[in-house]
Structure formats: structure tokens, C-alpha cells
Homo-oligomer: A and B are copies of this chain.
Amino acid sequence: MDKNSYIGVFDSGIGGLTVVKGIVDSLPDENIVYFGDTARVPYGTRSKRQIIEYALSDVKFLATFDIKAVVIACNTADSTAREEVMAAYPEFPVFGVVDPASRMAAKTTRNGRIGVMATKATAASGAYDRAIARYNPEAEVFDMPCSLLVPLVENGRFLPGDKVAEMVVQEYAQPLVDKEVDTLILGCTHFPLLTDILRKYYPELNIISSSGAAAQELRESLEKAGTLNDSGKPGTHRYFVSDDAAQAEEIARYFMGSVLDSRVEQVRIE
């Protein structure tokens, strides 16, 4: 394990690519290996035991590469299985998405009222409430389970002008705005794609994406540990999924656009 080792990133599906995009934008020299468990997506509706089992098998695959850090780019897996992953893999640091976004929200809210849009499982887990409380015990946190947003995004329905997407986003966001939150955490890696609709209706909100916050925390940690890749050469990026690669690549374009610089490969991990 050295500076040139890979950063491993995994998600239940394709959404975690918003984290990869954040890392590539901020740390273009890093080598990255991504695994999206598209054969078993979504994790958000599964039981705790099942999610832990899946997360451990995902990291087992990533660990077949020379890894210097792992990012759990899936709010469900992070809030359910991060401790189990850390215990199983003490040889490298394990980052999540919940903690970085919570820290940033706790630091930047002015009125101490924070909304969290997340999947049903993440919202029910209370993971953001606990994480935010660690950084700002006074903050009031309002969770909103947003079950329809992942299917909307995965069907390319996320741009302003899409009436269904706009209506559903408002249905979830408006009750949080009515609670007078000044800060909104997008607590699902799919949701950064809905930022333009949110900005259209709620331009005053301080929007924090868990994907962007995770990439920023990773950068700070690698800097501190002296393991940042500063080769000056663009990093190698490898993308794996557990189901059909062509279909994943189509959706991956929504998430990464032209930053998607290599083919998506299918791998069997079971």
C-alpha cells in the first residue's frame, strides 16, 4: 500500500458514482476502483443482516486490488454496516458518506435546523440525527424518507422541466422547508442530480450533498496521512458492476457525464 494504491469505492448500485465524480474533480491523480452491486440493488429495502453481508462481500472484492482506503458511497450501507466493515478490514481506513455531510451541515447551519432527504431505510436508521448530534448537539434534525427519488433519477427524470420530478421533489422538500430548515442534506448518492430542481424552488437553502462532503473529507484525510497521490499523472479509474455492464454504463453517464473515462466491466462477486 502506497500513494499509488487505489481508493476503493462501493455502492449498492450506480449512485456512488457521484462520490467518484467528487473525488476525480478534487483529486485527479488518484487511482480509483469502483464497485456497484447492481445485481443486488437496492440495499435500502433490505434487512440489516442482509445489508451487512452484502457490504462485506463488496469490500472483499475491492480488497482484491491494492487498496489504500475504502469509501462506502452508499448511505444505507454506511449507516448500517460501516462498523462491521472497519472491524473486518483494519488494514485500511474506511470512510462513509453520513459523517462528512453531517459535520459540514452542523458547521454551516445558521439556525440549527437541518433537513435530511434520504431513502426510507436511511431515514429510519436515524444515522444522520446521531452523526449531527456529535458535532452540534443543539441542532434539530428533520428526516424525510424519499422513496420515489431513486427510481426517478435512475430513469433520467431529474432535470428542471420534468413535471413529475418537480412535483415529487417538492412533495418531499416542502415539509422540511415548512419546518424552517436552512440547511438540507442530500442523504442519498442519487440526489445530487436533483440539485437543479431544488435550487429552482428553494434558492435560499444551504444544500449539502453527502457525495461532495465525502470526497472532501477523503481529501483532507489523505493529506493528513501523507498518502495523497501527487504523481502529476491522471489516475486510472476502473468501474465494476455485478449485473449487466452496458445498462450500468448508460445510467452511469447520468451521474458522471464525460468524467466517465473507461468502460464499465461486469464481475461476479458471490
| Shortest distance between the CB of A163 and any CB in chain B (Å) | 7
Would A155 and B147 be within 8 Å (CB), given that A39-B50, A45-B243, A47-B244 are in contact? yes
Most buried by B among A40, A46, A157: A46
Q: Report the Cα distance A148→B221, complex, angstroms.
A: 40
Determine the chain B residues whose CB is within 8 A of the CB of A244 once the complex forms: 46-47, 50
| Shortest distance between the CB of A99 and any CB in chain B (Å) | 26
Nearest residue (CB) in B for A151 is B151
Q: Report the Cα distance A44→B63, complex, angstroms.
A: 30
Q: Indicate if A1 sits at the interface (CB-CB under 8 A).
A: no
Stretch from A135-143, A164-172, A194-202, A204-212 that touches the partner: A164-172
Q: Report how many copies the assembly holds.
A: 2
Complex contact A50–B167 (CB within 8 A): no
In A150-190, which residues have CB < 8 Å from any B CB?
150-152, 154-155, 157, 163-164, 167-168, 171
Complex contact B243–A46 (CB within 8 A): yes
Kindly supply a per-residue 1/0 record for chain A positions 47-73, scoring 1 wherever the CB is within 8 Å of any chain B CB and 0 otherwise. 100100000000000000000000000
Q: Indicate if A247 sits at the interface (CB-CB under 8 A).
A: yes
| Shortest distance between the CB of A167 and any CB in chain B (Å) | 6
Complex contact A46–B39 (CB within 8 A): yes
Determine the chain B residues whose CB is within 8 A of the CB of A39 once the complex forms: 40, 46, 50
**Which listed residue (B40, B152, B164) contacts A167, Cβ 8 A?**
B164
Would A164 and B155 be within 8 Å (CB), given that A47-B244, A243-B45, A243-B47 are in contact? no
In A17-52, which residues have CB < 8 Å from any B CB?
38-40, 45-47, 50
Nearest residue (CB) in B for A152 is B148
Determine the chain B residues whose CB is within 8 A of the CB of A47 once the complex forms: 243-244, 247
Nearest residue (CB) in B for A150 is B151
| Shortest distance between the CB of A80 and any CB in chain B (Å) | 13
Determine the chain B residues whose CB is within 8 A of the CB of A147 once the complex forms: 151, 154-155
Most buried by B among A147, A150, A151: A151
Complex contact A155–B148 (CB within 8 A): yes
Top 7 nearest A-B pairs by Cβ distance? A151-B151, A47-B244, A147-B155, A46-B243, A47-B243, A164-B167, A148-B151
- On A, residues with C-beta under 8 Å from B are 38-40, 45-47, 50, 147-148, 150-152, 154-155, 157, 163-164, 167-168, 171, 243-244, 247
- New A-B contacts (5) at CB < 8 Å, excluding given A45-B243, A167-B167: A39-B40, A46-B243, A47-B243, A150-B151, A151-B151
